Amino acid sequence: MNRIELHDLARMRIREGKSLLDAELYAGSYYLSGYAVECGLKAVIAKLQGRNEFPDKRLANECNTHNLRTLVRLAGLQFDLEEEIQSSTAFAENWSVVRKWSELARYEVNVPAQTARCMYVACAGHLKGVLPWIQMYW
């Protein structure tokens, strides 16, 4: 999967998260909103790979994860993330919601409406949402 496909996938998953939220399908909304962030971070990692460079096997193996903190590190965004957290309380609050996401959320059946709403806004919010922040780097 290339960087452009990951962009498209991140955008698609966040739209699906919104649609499911609107349809009161909260578990799916929560999961897909977090998954959009995962795809966005993987797009940043893909951008770091030069078109003419042979892929590093260790990096490829490490990228095969759903852990958002690991993906932030692999994307080289740790410093930028800390800087954004320090400079914006709103972003810090959003990141504190998003960082708790796990791919295991796909097995959740009872996600409260408020939890799903908070996740969607933390991921997609125009004011200091995590996905718009990631898009500055992809």
pLDDT at 125: 94
Look up the CATH number of domain 3-135. Answer: 1.20.120
CA-to-CA distance for 117 and 59, rounded, in angstroms? 34
- Give this prediction's pTM: 0.92
- The per-residue pLDDT for range 78-97, each reduced to its tens digit, is 999 999 999 999 999 999 99
CB 10 within 8 A of CB 34: no
pLDDT at 54 over 70: no
CA-to-CA distance for 117 and 111, rounded, in angstroms? 10
What is the end-to-end Cα distance of the chain in Å, rounded? 14
